[in-house]
Structure formats: structure tokens, C-alpha cells
Amino acid sequence: MEYRKRMEKVLKVIEERGLDGVVFVSPENIFYFTGAPFVKGSVGKILYLSKDGTASIIVTDLDYQEALDFVDADAVRIVKTEFGERPSERLKKISGKRIGFEEQQMSYSLYDYLRKDLELQPLNGLAEKMREVKDEEEIRRIEEAQRITERALEEALQSFAKGMTEVEIASEVERRIRLLGAESYAFESIIASGERAVYPHGKPTKKRVEDGESVILDLGARVGGYCSDMTRTFFVGKPKQFLRDVYDAVAQAQNEAVRAAREGITGKELDSVARGILKEFGYAQYFGHGLGHGVGIDVHEGPSVSPRGETRLTAGNVVTIEPGVYIPGMGGVRIEDIVVITERGSRNLTNFSKEFIEF
Amino acid sequence: MEYRKRMEKVLKVIEERGLDGVVFVSPENIFYFTGAPFVKGSVGKILYLSKDGTASIIVTDLDYQEALDFVDADAVRIVKTEFGERPSERLKKISGKRIGFEEQQMSYSLYDYLRKDLELQPLNGLAEKMREVKDEEEIRRIEEAQRITERALEEALQSFAKGMTEVEIASEVERRIRLLGAESYAFESIIASGERAVYPHGKPTKKRVEDGESVILDLGARVGGYCSDMTRTFFVGKPKQFLRDVYDAVAQAQNEAVRAAREGITGKELDSVARGILKEFGYAQYFGHGLGHGVGIDVHEGPSVSPRGETRLTAGNVVTIEPGVYIPGMGGVRIEDIVVITERGSRNLTNFSKEFIEF
């Protein structure tokens, strides 16, 4: 990974803004700049990049050995805190005075602690914006995570049957995601069937999947720190004509949006491609979320592909395209691919069939 | 759950401090006060509690139906944002002026957005401190999650064998955690063997477990929103006498600390019970983390049981006791139980054997 090249961009901002350095506290951003292994949601590591070019990861004894073994010691110094000392305390001892920080990631309480001694300036999404444009290696990892998820779902699909619980379905896919080589899951699997399929975030329960229902599966793997994200909707036995119609509408909206994804289009415009088609079918009021989002180290990152997405897509963006229709009391359908924006349009990183699949 | 009783405590603080209301943004705290289903790490829901006693959950269309179906509508109003409107925008329209907020959970950027129109006051860990003392139902859920993890590990242990990869071991336990009735995992499983066992946060890799190595398994399930947390260290074939000695020392330190856990002892004092024993054995310098932490809706919450833990334990606290010894180049051992502090001492919620287990 081009860690040093990434840091150079930050050093330029440090210079332009007359800062003494920059501090990163989110495990995702620290991973992005150094490759330091991270536990999702964990805190306790700090990356400090000084205007002289020195990068330091401050860790407690807990994560010291792992940082030492996995981070390039020529590029990054590993600073171990004294026993009982917090990384934020040590930061104050080694940092300059005028410091840029991640305003979206830093908690108010850490901000409030640091500002007593430092002069803090928000970086205005600097790292988050850099992460929106992926390089080849990043795309390769996302694609590998996607291949694993697809193979896991293809294999697991053979075992799906009427009467299984949502949890059993989740278990069949998840264990294959592990065994096929992912380091972990990209997020908690969503499996929602029948009347529960109206919950876009519905986690698997002991509910059994029954004849005529749709089953939404939203799944992802993590490879080399990068996430994949895919949704497919399957059907149990013979579904009502109504659900078939919804499926066709969502599939058409999804395909058209994938085709429309290219450099220069805003997230908002792309969202409206899918939303317009669902409107023609009379389903737009049941599509209650944005069309998509960026995917990378976080499964949800920029750029936004929603009615709020004012940013123009650019080559290297990896975004989901996931229209859904959720009708209370009736059921739901969602179809999701990830695409990478290229200089000539876009490339769909998802190969899994979008045919109407019954089991 | 006693949601209303919990809110009453916040209302008292609102009155004492002359606030117009309080805002919660973390999914965990919103769940604690309302039972609203949450996706770990997701944002977008806001809970506003007004001084008149009205509680409102502000959600986008995305999570509206799920909130409607799972939250007690007599106790909490569900407010759906306009399409494209953020919950934080709506909050400004329905809230009073002087608002308390979660300073540990709110990002600086949300704080900065809200403070333009509201007068914000940190709540100084109010919700987090309330959550440290569990009621019977909360303890029941943690215990159920723990029973599931134990049963999953007992069953999976039968299939463990020399030459399996860490990932295969993870997969065997995780799928059983799912199938035995957990709604998800409490955290990403830690499986670290041989030289990797020195990484306290080591995630499973394709490394095979080999003769003579120790294998650390740190596992948890989530039931009814609550986490369990347990670590066991197994051995492959016949380990060196050295690893046996380390195991005995860690087991003794762990058992003594479990015995010492009671009301009135500080986290720091409890930590020093285990640390003192490891010092006698000459291993204290290899025990590079705190003894434990609270467990509940978050797998890491208060109170701290570490050299920084100044708070006295109190009945209803649920804490981990997890000494570990990690010797670079040699290997590692950790043993972890969770205990609930009671009025008569403590009760160990962990039943899994701590005998020396080889496979």
C-alpha cells in the first residue's frame, strides 16, 4: 500500500495551513495511513504526523507487539505509553501546539481534553475524502472480499430450504465466508424474510422462512482490511405475482442505475435514476433510503449516493447501488451491487446472478 | 425492561441542572432507554428527552418501521424525518434550547453543528454510569449469552485438532453461537495461536495450530442486546513445561482475583490482586493490559478494572477478570470470566472449565 504517498498529502495540508502536526484517532484512518491492524470500534491508538514528516503511532502495551510486527518501522515510529498512561496523555508530550484533527471521528470528550493544551483545527474530512478514491490495491481487496461473499452465498444457497430459520441461513453463509478466506465479516449480516423483509436493517431471527415469502440477504466480507457489500433477494416456493412485480421493478431500477454510474454524475442524480423508475412503477414511496454509499475500510463511507449526494463521482470511487421496496404488511425486495467508477464509465464488482431465484 | 424508570433518572438530572432536555445519539444509549433495535456502529437515530417527560426517537424512513414495531409507543414518540432531512436537523426543530448531551459518544462535528443553535452541556457520563449497574433482567441476558458461548465452545472443542487453521476454529465456534440462539456475536472473535498468541487482539488467520502451541480463544455472544465475554487457552498436543507453568500462574492469578471481587474494592485494587500473583511468578512485566472491564450493551464499558480504575465496585456491576501473560517469541495465555458483583460478594457467570485442556 502507498502509505508514504498518503502521508505526503497530509503533510502538504499541514504546510498549507501552518500546522505543527495532525492527529488521527479512528482505527480506520490509522489503518489507512499505516496499515496498523485494527479492531473495529476499538480506541486507544493514536497516529501523530508531525510537520517534519515523522509519523508516530502511540499505543498501550496491549497493542504494542502487534503494531511492532505489522507496521513498517522505517515509515512509522511505534511509541509505547508508560503503564497506566493514556495515548492521549502521551500525545500532549510529543506533539506540537497547532494540531489538525478528524472532526467526524473524534469524540467531544477527547476534543475537550486535548484542547486544554493544544490548539485544535478540524481537518474538514481530509482523510475521509482521500479514502473515497481507491487505488488498484484497494479495489483488488474489495473485489476479493466480494468474490468470497459470492462463492459463500452460491454454496450456501444449495442448502437453503423452506422452514429454515433466518439464523440458520445466516450461519450457512457466514461460516463459508470465514472458511473461504475472509479475515472477518464486513458487518452484521442482514437476513429478513416475509413481513420482516420491510426492515432494511433486519438482523436474522429464529423466524422460519415460509412458502411465498421473500428473503433479503445483505452480506459482506473483509479482506486485507477492506469490505464488500452485496444484497440479493430470494423467494421461498412460489411467491405471489405481486412480489414478482416488485422484484422486476427493483431489478430494472438497479440495472439502470448501474448503467448510469460514471464520472461526473452526482450521487443525487444517480439516486434519481433508480427512484424515477420505481416512481413509474408506483413504488417510489416505498423506497425509503438512499440508493447507495461508498465502501472501503468502512462499509459505509463516502461518497453518498442519495438525495443529499452533491459530490460528483470520480474514477476510483467504489459505491453500492441498492434500491429497495418495502411495503408494510406485504414484504420487501432489495438488490445491491458494488461498482467502481472508472475513466470510461464504471465496472460492476458484483458477479452474482440477479435472476429471480426460488428455493 | 424498566425503560421508564431509567428515563425518570435522567428527568431528575434535567430538573436539577435546569435543562430543557437531553439528547442521546449513540445506538447503545438509545437502546438502553427505549429498547429501540440497533445496528452496532450505525448512526442516524436520535433520542430526545424533554423536561416535560416526552421522549422522542427521531429516525429516517430507513429505520422507521422497525422503531414503530419494537418501541413502546406509549412511552416514546417515533418522529420520522422528511425525506432527505437529517435527524440532527429535525432535532433543532423539536428541542428546547439548553440541552444535555453525551460527551463521550457525540462526535466533535455533530457537537459543532448543534451548538450553532443550541446551548450544549456535557452530561458527564450520566448514561454510561447508569449502565454500569445492571438490573436482574440485564444480568439474565448476559448470563444467557454466556451459556450459549459456553455450549458452543464445548461442542466445537470436540472437533478441534492439530493442523486446523485459526479461522477454521473460529468458524466452528461462531456458527454454533448463531445456531444456539444468539442474535449475533458480541465482538469479532479473537483466536491466536503459537507466536501469534502474544497479540491480545489477534484475529484468526490461516495459520495452522501446531503441536506444543497454546491457542487463545476470546469469544462472546449477544442476546437481547447484551454481550458475554470469555477467554480460554487450550493447548495442542503436549506443550512445553514452560507454557504449563505460565498457565498455572495465570489460572492462580485469575482465581484469586475472582475471589477478591466484591462491593467496595476499587478496580485498581482488584487489578493489583492478579498483578501481584503474576509478579511473584516473575511474569508481571508480560501482563501488559488491565485486568478487566465492564460488560453490557457494549462489550467494553465501565467500570474499569485496571491500574486506572479508581471507582469502587458496587452490586450490579458485571466485569471481566482476564489476566494474561504474553512473552514475545514464546507464546501467550489468557483466562477470562465475567462476574457480577452482589451484596454478598460476587457470582461468577462463567461455568466453563479452567482445567488445562489439550486437544
Residue numbers in B near A63 (CB within 8 A): 200-201
B88 CB within 8 Å of a chain A CB? no
Gap between the Cα atoms of B183 and B167, Å rounded? 21
Helix/strand/coil percent split, chain A, to 5: 35, 25, 40
Gap between the Cα atoms of A142 and A155, Å rounded? 20
- Per-residue b/e over B62-77, b at no fewer than 16 CB within 10 Å? bbbbbbeeebeeeebe
Interface of A with B in 96-125 (CB under 8 A): 101, 103-109, 111-112, 122
pLDDT at residue B1 greater than cutoff 90: no
The CA–CA distances, whole Å, from A3 to A53, A189, A224, A272, B151 equal: 13, 31, 14, 36, 43
Write the single-letter amino acid at A256. E
Domain boundaries, chain B: 3-130, 136-348
Mean pLDDT of A30-56: 88
Write the single-letter amino acid at A296. G
Largest Cα span, chain B: 68
Write the single-letter amino acid at B227. C
- Judge whether B73 and B94 are in contact, CB under 8 Å: no
pLDDT digits (tens, 9 = 90+) for A78-121: 999 998 899 999 999 999 999 999 999 999 999 999 999 999 99
Gap between the Cα atoms of A25 and A6, Å rounded? 16
| A65/B326 CB distance under 8 A | yes
pLDDT at residue A41 greater than cutoff 60: no
Per-residue 3-state assignment (H helix, E strand, C coil) for A145-202: HHHHHHHHHHHHHCCCCCCCEHHHHHHHHHHHHHHCCCCEECCCCEEEEHHHHHCCCC
Gap between the Cα atoms of A192 and A185, Å rounded? 18
| B188/A184 CB distance under 8 A | yes
Quick one: pLDDT band at residue A62, thresholds 50, 70, 90? Answer: confident
Residue numbers in B near A181 (CB within 8 A): 167, 206
Please give the order of strands across the beta sheet that includes A301-305.
A301-305, A292-294, A318-321, A337-342, A345-348
CA distance B203 to chain A (A): 8
Report the pLDDT value the prediction gives residue B83, as an integer from 0 to 100: 83
| Beta pairing class for A230-235 and B301-305 | unpaired
Per-residue 3-state assignment (H helix, E strand, C coil) for chain B: CCHHHHHHHHHHHHHHCCCCEEEECCHHHHHHHHCCCCCCCCCCCEEEEECCCCEEEEECHHHHHHHHHHCCCCCCEEEECCCCCCHHHHHHHHCCCEEEECCCCCEHHHHHHHHCCCEEEECCCHHHHHHHCCCHHHHHHHHHHHHHHHHHHHHHHCCCCCCCEHHHHHHHHHHHHHHCCCCEECCCCEEEEHHHHHCCCCCCCCCECCCCCEEEEEECEEECCEECCEEEEEECCCCCHHHHHHHHHHHHHHHHHHHHCCCCCEHHHHHHHHHHHHHHCCCHHHCCCCCEEECCCCCCEEEEECCCCCCECCCCCEEEECCEEEECCCEEEECEEEEEEECCEEEECCCCCCCCCEC
B202 CB within 8 Å of a chain A CB? yes
A62 CB within 8 Å of a chain B CB? yes
B310 CB within 8 Å of a chain A CB? no
CA distance B62 to chain A (A): 5
Residue numbers in A near B64 (CB within 8 A): 288
A61, A106, A187 member nearest B288 (Cβ): A61
pLDDT digits (tens, 9 = 90+) for A235-293: 999 898 999 999 999 999 999 999 999 999 999 999 999 999 999 999 999 999 999 99
| Beta pairing class for B119-122 and B98-101 | parallel
Report the pLDDT value the prediction gives residue A104, as an integer from 0 to 100: 94
Which is nearest to A37 in space by CA: A65, A56, A5, A60?
A65
Gap between the Cα atoms of A300 and A293, Å rounded? 6
Least confident of A173-187, B38-52, B193-207: B38-52
Interface of A with B in 152-171 (CB under 8 A): 167-168, 170-171
Instruction: Find the residue in B nearest to A284 (Cα).
Output: B83
Report the pLDDT value the prediction gives residue B112, as an integer from 0 to 100: 98
| Beta pairing class for A119-122 and A98-101 | parallel
The cell for B19 is 435543562
pTM > 0.90? yes
Gap between the Cα atoms of B172 and B209, Å rounded? 14
B83, B185, B307 member nearest A307 (Cβ): B83
Write the single-letter amino acid at A203. K
Gap between the Cα atoms of A152 and A286, Å rounded? 30
Residue numbers in B near A330 (CB within 8 A): none
Instruction: Find the residue in B nearest to A206 (Cα).
Output: B181
pLDDT digits (tens, 9 = 90+) for B320-339: 999 999 999 889 999 999 99
Cβ atoms within 10 A of the Cβ of A155, count? 14
pLDDT digits (tens, 9 = 90+) for B157-173: 999 999 999 999 999 99
ipTM exceeding 0.85, yes/no = yes
Cβ atoms within 10 A of the Cβ of A75, count? 15
Quick one: pLDDT band at residue B40, thresholds 50, 70, 90? Answer: low
Gap between the Cα atoms of A278 and A291, Å rounded? 12
Please give the order of strands across the beta sheet that includes B318-321.
B301-305, B292-294, B318-321, B337-342, B345-348
pLDDT at residue A135 greater than cutoff 60: yes
The cell for A209 is 422462512
CA distance B58 to chain A (A): 15
B120: CB partners within 8 A, 6+ apart: B99, B100, B101, B111, B114
Gap between the Cα atoms of A334 and A293, Å rounded? 15
pLDDT at residue B135 greater than cutoff 70: yes
- Judge whether A192 and A332 are in contact, CB under 8 Å: yes
Residue numbers in A near B107 (CB within 8 A): 103-108
For domain B136-348, the question of CATH label 3.90.230.10 is answered with: yes
Interface of A with B in 218-277 (CB under 8 A): none
CA distance B184 to chain A (A): 7
User: Using CA of residue A350, residue A352, residue A353, residue A358, what is the dihedral sign?
Assistant: negative
The cell for A101 is 484533527
Residue numbers in B near A206 (CB within 8 A): 181
Cβ atoms within 10 A of the Cβ of A53, count? 12
Gap between the Cα atoms of A232 and A158, Å rounded? 15
pLDDT digits (tens, 9 = 90+) for A188-217: 999 999 999 999 999 999 999 999 999 999
pLDDT at residue B347 greater than cutoff 90: yes
A65, A178, A187 member nearest B167 (Cβ): A178
| Beta pairing class for B214-219 and B190-193 | antiparallel
Instruction: Give the number of beta-carbon pairs within 8 Å between A and B.
Output: 143
For domain A3-130, the question of CATH label 3.40.50.2300 is answered with: no
| A188/B61 CB distance under 8 A | no
A229: CB partners within 8 A, 6+ apart: A186, A187, A218, A219, A220, A295, A299, A320, A336, A338
Instruction: Find the residue in B nearest to A111 (Cα).
Output: B108
pLDDT at residue B41 greater than cutoff 60: no
Report the pLDDT value the prediction gives residue A46, as an integer from 0 to 100: 96
Report the share of chain A in percent with pLDDT over 90: 92
pLDDT at residue A159 greater than cutoff 90: yes
Radius of gyration of chain A (CA): 22
The count of C-alpha atoms lying within 13 angstroms of the C-alpha of A139, restricted to the half-sphere facing its C-beta, is: 20
Residue B311 burial (C-beta neighbours within 10 Å; 0-12, 13-18, 19+): middle
**Partners of residue A217 on adjacent β-strands:** A191, A232
| B289/A61 CB distance under 8 A | yes
Report the pLDDT value the prediction gives residue B117, as an integer from 0 to 100: 97
- Judge whether A263 and A293 are in contact, CB under 8 Å: no
| A179/B171 CB distance under 8 A | yes
